[in-house]
Amino acid sequence: MTIGLGLGLSKYPFESPDGYWRWVELCERGGIDSIWQTDRLVSKDPILECIAVTAALAGATETIHFGMSVASIAFRDPLLTAKQLATIDVLSKGRLLPAFGLGSSFSADFRASGTPTKRRGKRADEVLKLIHKLWHEEDICYNGEFFRYDHVTISPRPVNQSIPLWIGGSSEKAIERVARYGTGWLGGIETPEESARVILGIKEALKKTGRSIDKDHYGATFSFRFGNKGELESRLALKRLGKRVKDPSKYLVIGDTEDIVKRIDQYIDAGCSKFVMLPIASDEKETIQQTRLVIDEILPTYWSFNRR
């Protein structure tokens, strides 16, 4: 098992694009495994579009991997999405990490895009199946409930012949979806205990589908902050998450290096080896500070682990 510590962004905290690219350069030079962008179309907060971000990162970086955390697949067109991501994979020399989720039925993105939420799970299944086919097959004929293809081909296809198709979600249906279509699982708002349950469920479901997923392809996402819970930004983060879960402290970590390493280790014990860590920060300065602390104090903890 190789531990990969990536950093993700939801809100855009930078004063200018120059600040964003300084952060990206810091991540790449500092040894961060990957960069991830949250998907949100409708929001009063500034949030970048996730697929456009991966395209920009393909041209601005050389070695770091990058992905979407996670892209809502149920209202995306499979042909356009497959073509966009194949192009990004080609131009980045295989560094793209596609990750998809169903998306909440309460999301404003569905309403604004005019996408029905009814049977969105079935639609998502078709989209995932078709994206995989478009990436790997020469000539696709398909007659489904939502999409029909008559001898469809895209070119160029991804240069990464093993391009991942990570899928999020923790429901029983999501677990079945990962077992049928996914090459990995990327958790969202799950505690280490909940992640362990999902991973076990996926492994059991894989026995029914006759497929396998590499043990390195299970990931966790959580917010973190070097600081204390009394700070304004910490209180705001706990309050926001408290609207969705009973005990938000189980789903994010605020503290010192030891506290953050302990939480990572709990996820590792649950079966996760890839991480999307979202810094809790109020602005550009704090985002840079939190990132430097990860590079200086967290990454060295796992260097020896990865050399085993």
Domains of the chain in start order, with CATH, are: 4-306 (3.20.20.30)
Which residues are 99's β-sheet partners?
Answer: 166
Please tell me the predicted confidence (pLDDT) of residue 306. 61
Nearest to 84 by CA among 184, 10, 157: 157
CA end-to-end span of the chain, whole Å?
A: 9
Q: What element of type H or E holds 140? A: strand 140-143
pLDDT digits (tens, 9 = 90+) for 275-307: 999 999 999 999 999 999 999 999 999 976 564
Q: Using alpha carbons only, what angle is made at residue 142 by residues 136 and 143, rounded to the nearest 5 degrees?
A: 160
Nearest to 290 by CA among 21, 19, 23: 23
Query: How many C-beta atoms lie closer than 10 Å to residue 261's C-beta?
Result: 16
Please tell me the predicted confidence (pLDDT) of residue 75. 86
Alpha helices in 61-119 (DSSP H): 78-91, 108-113
Averaged pLDDT of the chain: 95
pLDDT digits (tens, 9 = 90+) for 191-232: 999 999 999 999 999 999 999 999 999 999 999 999 999 999
Q: Look at residue 173 and tell me whether its pLDDT is greater than 50.
A: yes
The DSSP line for 164-221 is --EE---SHHHHHHHHHH-SEEE-SS--HHHHHHHHHHHHHHHHHHT----TT-EEEE
Scanning the structure block, which residue is given the tokens 């299970």? 218
Query: What is the spatial distance between Cα 239 and Cα 186, in angstroms, rounded to a whole number?
Result: 24
Mark 231-255 as b/e (b = at least 16 C-beta within 10 Å): eebbeebbeebeeeeeebebbbbbb
* HSE-CB for 31 with a 13 A CA cutoff: 14
